[in-house]
């Protein structure tokens, strides 16, 4: 297939991109290549291009190529987790640089910035990205990065990616988007002008709750990527060949899964919105979502993540979570099975999440079964 130009649709690319038939055997599934080191030729060169597995290996290279194609980016670096991917972006900046982050964002990355990167002297402002003027007001002389996360975790806030990336560009600031909740099947931040896209591939890419990984994808002519690659190789937070293989396998069904996740979540959001014991539903696919129009502009569907607040406070929220039978009580997201989570208690003391909020990662089960489960639990 014409893998060179990446003109194929994303459904075709997710099945084929970056994957070759294995030459020595004709195997159509790539083997898991566990070798940590690769033979040099007599003249000292590396005839196959591989030196040592931390620098690069066939499984990682295949995964990176695949994600690059899906994102229509230029380069990708795969990491051992989404957290390591994010950290590589922050470490590519210099001490004293300033970054702007959304006030509602994945708590693990916020903790990483506050606990680790502040000691590296990275300055940070947390702003409500739904008001672009507020983001603009926070731009200082030393601002080097604007970090988006949309839809955000756990309040499903929507950032206008195109506008924010444009503003960043005008100020010569790097823009990055954590696109974990959407994947390129639904939302492609590079096409909307972002410089970098960051993923926890643990979630929808892997899709089966059995591999941890991350990735950073760069748009064309983003010089900072060289530094990120350097951090991947020299810092060594690399994914194992097996994890790359699992995530690559997950991606083959990504487009099908995202459609089903989105359809199920939409039905569940509508059901919850009409339920008398539900105070509020957060799902960008609902017309009642304050930023539905922007979401519709930049997303092809609305993914499988939603949150809702129950009437009756924390105890009622715990009751609901303890009553479900098909949903599993667990953190994480993006897998084929549906998960329910009382979010503020997993986020810990510093959580700003309402205590009556439950977050759902809607899986690919039958939507009616999931709705029945929630109806009974409520
Ligand atoms: C899970 C998650 C991360 C962190 O990824 P890990 O693979 O768990 O390190 C980052 N951002 C978002 C939005 C996430 O959901």
Q: Which residues contact 105 (CB under 8 A, 6 or more apart)?
A: 126, 147, 149, 152, 153, 178
What are the helix (H) ranges across the chain? Answer: 10-16, 58-71, 82-91, 107-112, 132-137, 161-170, 183-186, 224-230, 241-252, 254-273, 292-298, 313-323, 343-347, 367-377
Query: Using CA atoms, how far apart are residues 57 and 152, in angstroms rounded to an integer?
Result: 33
Q: Half-sphere exposure of residue 358, counting CA atoms within 13 Å on the CB side?
A: 34
Region 162-188 average pLDDT:
98
Q: Is the pLDDT of residue 1 over 60?
A: no
pLDDT for 188 equals 98
Rounded CA separation 94/104 (Å): 24
Describe the chain by its helix, strand, coil percentages, rounded to 5: 35, 15, 45
- Per DSSP bridges, beta strands 305-310 and 357-361 are antiparallel
The 3-state DSSP class for residue 99 equals: strand
Structure tokens at 181: 């909740």
Given CA atoms 86, 89, 95, 100 in this order, what sign does their dihedral have?
A: negative
Quickly tell me which residue has 């130009």 as its tokens.
5
Share of the chain above pLDDT 90, in %: 94
| pLDDT tier at 180, thresholds 50, 70, 90 | very high
Confirm or reject: Cβ of 214 under 6 Å from ligand 1: yes
Helix axis angle for 58-71 and 241-252, nearest 10°, is 30
DSSP 144: E
Residue 179 CB less than 6 A away from ligand 1: no
Q: Convert the pLDDT of each residue in 293-333 to its tens digit.
A: 999 999 999 999 999 999 999 999 999 999 999 999 999 99
Output the average pLDDT for the chain.
96
What pLDDT is stored for residue 315 in this prediction? Answer: 95
Cis peptide before 151 (omega within 30 of 0): yes
Average pLDDT over residues 52-79: 97
Beta-carbon contacts of residue 131 (< 8 Å; ≥ 6 apart)? none
**Distance between CA atoms of 264 and 84, rounded to whole angstroms?**
31
β-partners of residue 126 are 101
DSSP β-ladder status, 174-178 and 143-149:
parallel
How far is it, in rounded angstroms, from Cα 2 to Cα 374? Answer: 46
Model confidence at 2, pLDDT cuts 50, 70, 90, reads: very low
DSSP string, 277-340: TEEEEE-TTSTTSTTHHHHHHH-SS--SEEEEEETTHHHHHHHHHHH-SSSEE-S---SSS-EE
Strands 98-102 vs 214-218: parallel, antiparallel or unpaired: unpaired
pLDDT digits (tens, 9 = 90+) for 130-144: 999 999 999 999 999
Ligand 1 centre to CA of 310 (Å) is 25
Active site residues: 54, 106, 178, 203
Please give the structure tokens belonging to residue 353. Answer: 């999440």
- 346: pLDDT confidence band, cut at 50, 70 and 90? confident
CA torsion sign for 231, 61, 221, 8 is negative
Mutation to probe ligand 1, out of 108, 189, 197, 359 (largest number of atoms < 8 A from CB): 108
Which of 269, 357, 277 lies closest to 309, judged by CA?
357
Integer Cα distance of 327 and 175 in angstroms: 36
Note the pTM of the prediction, 2 decimals. 0.96
| 335 Cβ below 6 A of ligand 1 | no
User: Does residue 375 have a pLDDT over 60?
Assistant: yes
- Residue 6 reports pLDDT greater than 80: no
Instruction: Confirm or reject: Cβ of 209 under 6 Å from ligand 1.
Output: no
Residue 178 Cβ < 6 Å to ligand 1 = yes
328-344 pLDDT per residue, tens: 999 999 999 999 999 99
Give the Cα separation of 138 and 293 in Å (integer): 26
Q: Kindly report the backbone phi and psi dihedral angles of residue 30, in degrees, each rounded to the nearest multiple of 5, phi listed first.
A: -65, 140
Distance 74 CA to ligand 1 centre (A): 23
Query: Which atom of ligand 1 lies at the shortest distance from residue 201's CA?
Result: 7
If you count them, how many residues does the chain have? 378
- Tell how far CA 338 is from the center of its chain: 18
Q: In the predicted model, what is the mean pLDDT of residues 183-205?
A: 98
């Amino acid at each position: 297939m014409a893998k060179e130009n990446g003109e194929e649709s994303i459904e075709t690319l997710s099945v084929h991109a970056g994957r070759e038939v294995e030459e020595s055997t004709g195997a159509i599934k790539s083997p898991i290549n566990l070798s940590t080191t690769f033979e040099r030729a007599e003249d000292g060169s590396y005839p196959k291009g591989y030196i040592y597995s931390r620098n690069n290996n066939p499984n990682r290279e295949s995964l990176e190529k695949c994600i690059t194609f899906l994102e229509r980016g230029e380069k990708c670096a795969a990491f051992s987790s989404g957290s390591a991917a994010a950290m590589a972006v922050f470490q590519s900046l210099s001490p004293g640089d300033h970054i702007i982050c959304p006030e509602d964002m994945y708590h693990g990355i916020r903790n990483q910035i506050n606990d680790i990167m502040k000691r590296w002297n990275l300055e940070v402002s947390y702003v409500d990205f739904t008001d672009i003027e507020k983001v603009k007001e926070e731009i200082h002389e030393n601002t080097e990065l604007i970090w988006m996360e949309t839809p955000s975790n756990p309040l499903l806030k929507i950032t206008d990616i195109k506008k924010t990336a444009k503003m960043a560009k005008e100020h010569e600031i790097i823009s990055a988007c954590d696109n974990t909740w959407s994947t390129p099947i639904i939302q492609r931040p590079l096409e909307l002008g972002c410089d970098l896209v960051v993923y926890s591939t643990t979630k929808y890419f892997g899709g089966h709750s059995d591999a941890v990984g991350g990735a950073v994808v760069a748009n064309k002519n983003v010089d900072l990527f060289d530094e990120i690659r350097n951090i991947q190789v020299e810092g060594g937070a690399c994914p194992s060949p097996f994890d790359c293989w699992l995530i690559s396998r997950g991606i083959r069904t990504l487009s099908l899964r995202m459609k089903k996740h989105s359809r199920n979540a939409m039905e569940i959001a509508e059901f919850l919105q009409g339920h008398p014991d539900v105070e509020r539903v957060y799902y960008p696919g609902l017309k009642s979502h304050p930023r539905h129009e922007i979401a519709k502009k930049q997303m092809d569907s609305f993914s499988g993540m939603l949150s809702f607040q129950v009437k009756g406070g924390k105890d009622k929220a715990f009751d609901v979570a303890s009553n479900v039978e098909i949903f599993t009580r667990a953190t994480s997201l993006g897998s084929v099975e549906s998960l329910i989570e009382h979010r503020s208690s997993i986020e810990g003391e510093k959580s700003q999440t309402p205590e009556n909020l439950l977050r759902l990662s809607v899986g690919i089960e039958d939507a009616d079964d999931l709705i029945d489960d929630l109806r009974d639990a409520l």
